[in-house]
Amino acid sequence: MEQLEIKGRIVWQDLESGFWGIIDEDGRQWRPNSLPAAFQRDGAEVRVKAERSEEGFSMFMWGSPITILDIQ
Amino acid sequence: MAALYTYSYVGILLSTLLWFFLNAREQSTTPIKMLFWSSLGVYSISMFFGDGSSLYKMLIILPRDIAIYVLIALLANKFAARLGSFAVLALALGSVMTFYYFDVLLGTFGSESSELSPDAELIVDLKKDSDPASVEAALEEYRCELIPAFPRLQAARYASFTDNYIINVPDEYADDIDDIIDLLQSDANVDWVERNEIIQLDPDEDEGSEEYEAADYGVNDPDVGKLWGFGRMKMAEFYQTLARLRPRKQARIAILDTGVDAEHPDLKRNYVSSDRNSDRDVVGHGTHCAGIAAAVSNNRIGIASFAPKQGWVEVTSIKVLDDRGTGTDQGIIAGIIRAADEDADIISLSLGGRSDDEKHRAFGEAVEYANDKGAIVVAAAGNSSANARHFAPAGTKGVIAVAAVDNELNRAAFSNSVADLDFGIAAPGVDIYSTYPGDAYKLMSGTSMSAPYVAGLLGIMKALRPALNTADAYKLLQTSGLETDDGEATGRFIQPAALLQKLQ
Tell me, what CATH number does B370's domain have?
3.40.50.200
Q: How far, CA to CA in Å, does A71 sit from each of A46, B130, B154, B206, B322?
A: 7, 22, 22, 47, 26
Residue B49's pLDDT band, with cuts at 50, 70 and 90, is: confident
Q: Are residues B283 and B362 in the same domain?
A: yes
Mean pLDDT (chain A, rounded)? 91
Q: How far apart are CA B379 and CA B399, in angstroms?
A: 7
State the complex-level ipTM. 0.90
Do the strands B346-349 and B251-257 form a parallel or antiparallel pair, or are they unpaired? Answer: parallel
Find residue A12's DSSP bridge partners.
A20
Q: Are residues B252 and B132 in the same domain?
A: no
Q: Is A56 on the interface with B (CB under 8 A)?
A: yes
- Using CB atoms, which residue from A12, A60, A64 is nearest to B325? A60
Q: Which of B460, B256, B239, B238 is nearest to A57 (CA)?
A: B256
Residue B53's pLDDT band, with cuts at 50, 70 and 90, is: low
Q: Specify the pLDDT at position B218.
A: 87
Q: How far apart are CA B488 and CA B234, in angstroms?
A: 22
Has residue B209 been placed in a domain?
no
Q: Are residues B169 and B48 in the same domain?
A: no
Stronger pLDDT, B40 or B4, i.e. the higher one:
B40
Q: Are residues B277 and B366 in the same domain?
A: yes
Q: Are residues B224 and B191 in the same domain?
A: no
Q: Are residues B230 and B143 in the same domain?
A: no
Q: Specify the pLDDT at position B140.
A: 84
CB–CB of B152 and A14 under 8 A? yes
Q: Specify the pLDDT at position B175.
A: 80
What are the b/e assignments for B210-234, b being 16+ CB within 10 Å? eebebeebbbebebbbbbbbbbbbb
Q: Specify the pLDDT at position B94.
A: 81
| Range from B9-23, B129-143, B183-197, B223-237 carrying the lowest mean pLDDT | B183-197
What are chain A's domains? 3-71 (2.40.50)
Q: Are residues B254 and B298 in the same domain?
A: yes
Residues ≥6 apart with Cβ < 8 Å to B210: B228, B231
Stronger pLDDT, B371 or B60, i.e. the higher one:
B371
Instruction: Provide the chain B residues 156-185 that lie in CB contact (below 8 A) with chain A.
Output: 156, 158-162
Q: Specify the pLDDT at position B203.
A: 37
Q: Closest Cα of chain A to B332: distance in Å?
A: 9
Owning domain of residue B133 = 122-195
Mean pLDDT throughout B315-326?
95
Q: How far apart are CA B477 and CA B499, in angstroms?
A: 7
Number of domains in chain B: 3
User: What CATH code is carried by the domain that includes residue B129?
Assistant: 3.30.70
Has residue B206 been placed in a domain?
no
Q: How far apart are CA B273 and CA B316, in angstroms?
A: 6
**Total residue length of chain B:** 504
Q: How far, CA to CA in Å, does B426 sit from each of B19, B218, B401, B404?
A: 70, 25, 8, 6
Q: Are residues B75 and B176 in the same domain?
A: no
**What is the residue type of B102?**
F
Q: How far apart are CA B114 and CA B51, in angstroms?
A: 14
Has residue B207 been placed in a domain?
no
Q: Coil, helix or strand for B148?
A: strand
Q: Are residues B246 and B101 in the same domain?
A: no
- Rounded to the nearest 10 degrees, the angle between the axes of helix B447-464 and helix B285-294 is 40
pLDDT of residue B337 exceeding 50: yes
CB–CB of A41 and B151 under 8 A? yes
Q: Specify the pLDDT at position B155.
A: 42
Has residue B457 been placed in a domain?
yes
Has residue B42 been placed in a domain?
yes
Q: How far apart are CA B47 and CA B109, in angstroms?
A: 9
pLDDT of residue B27 exceeding 90: no
Q: Which of A12, A13, A15, A67 to mutate to test the interface with B (most CBs of B within 10 A)?
A: A15
Find residue A28's DSSP bridge partners.
none
Stronger pLDDT, B477 or B58, i.e. the higher one:
B477
Q: Which of B380, B406, B382 is nearest to B255 (CA)?
A: B380
Q: How far apart are CA B252 and CA B339, in angstroms?
A: 10
| Range from A33-47, B248-262, B310-324 carrying the lowest mean pLDDT | A33-47
Q: Specify the pLDDT at position B25.
A: 83
| Range from A58-67, B11-20, B309-318, B366-375 carrying the lowest mean pLDDT | B11-20
Has residue B204 been placed in a domain?
no
Q: How far apart are CA B332 and CA B7, in angstroms?
A: 73
Has residue B205 been placed in a domain?
no
Has residue B267 been placed in a domain?
yes
Residues ≥6 apart with Cβ < 8 Å to B258: A59, B281, B282, B283, B284, B285, B286, B319, B321, B322, B323, B325
Q: Specify the pLDDT at position B119.
A: 64
From B106, B130, B157, give the residue that closes a domain: B106
Q: Are residues B92 and B147 in the same domain?
A: no
Q: Closest Cα of chain B to A59: distance in Å?
A: 4
Residue B58's pLDDT band, with cuts at 50, 70 and 90, is: confident
Cβ neighbours around B125 below 10 Å, total = 16
Q: Closest Cα of chain A to B329: distance in Å?
A: 7
Q: Coil, helix or strand for B255?
A: strand
Q: Is A28 on the interface with B (CB under 8 A)?
A: no
Stronger pLDDT, A59 or B7, i.e. the higher one:
A59
Q: Are residues B321 and B470 in the same domain?
A: yes
For residue B359, what is the nearest residue in chain A, using CA coordinates? A56
Q: Are residues B303 and B364 in the same domain?
A: yes
